[in-house]
Amino acid sequence: MAFPIVTAALYVSSKQEVAFSVTSTDGLTGGILRYREERQAWFFDDVGVVTSMADYQGRIAIVQAGVVLIQDTAPGVGTAVPYYVKTGMFQGFQALGYGALQQVGVLGTYRGPFTLEIKKSVNGTAFPESIGIWVVTGADFAVGDRVVKLVTPAVMQHDQFALEYLVTPTSGSEGLWLHAAAIETDKQPGFARLGAAHNL
């Protein structure tokens, strides 16, 4: 664990969110670890070392290097923060089997203009292959609209794979709230253990 020390804990009831300020053992690095109950998801804000926190009108107020800072009510100009989600290795075709990755889907909520790219990996480390990219603007969706994107990869046959979903909002935009991702696969007939060709 990179930040094993918890310096403060806070529950923000208006957001159904639990926040922990955490630091490294030497106290030189840290951030805020947040859990949103409604989304059942963890988030980490890389803001640096925080010594204490409080709830102020539904926003998180922190003390950092002796200065009190308050969470913004809305994203400001130039606060677009790209983020990505990587899956683990999908190995659902048995040890010596293979299958087809037929379709990849993404579900989210539109919060502002963004670019979404889905990348594929065969080793879970490098993601060199882009299998789909979309540039989404207000001409396509209104804030709060449901966003569904589907793509069929050009190369389908695999014995294992991992995926990366990269969201890059435009400046001052919240971009896409990513809720779920899904895949459709088709298992091919795998290896079968056969009996001996000759009986002694």
Q: Tens of pLDDT along 21-65?
A: 999 999 899 999 999 888 788 888 888 899 999 998 888 899 988
| CA–CA separation, 57 and 74 (whole Å) | 14
**pTM to 2 decimal places:** 0.61
Q: 3-class secondary structure for 179-194?
A: EEEEEEEEECCCCCCC
Q: DSSP code of 33? A: E
**Which ranges of 15-109 does DSSP label H, i.e. alpha helix?**
none
Confidence of residue 192 (pLDDT cuts 50, 70, 90): very low
Return the amino acid letter for 27: G
Count other Cβ atoms within 10 Å, centred on residue 31: 19
| CA–CA separation, 23 and 58 (whole Å) | 24
Looking at the chain, which residues constitute the CATH 2.60.120.260 domain(s)? Answer: 83-187
- Strands, E, within 57-145: which ranges? 59-64, 67-70, 83-86, 99-110, 114-121, 129-136
| CA–CA separation, 50 and 77 (whole Å) | 24
State the CATH class of domain 83-187: mainly beta
Confidence of residue 118 (pLDDT cuts 50, 70, 90): very high
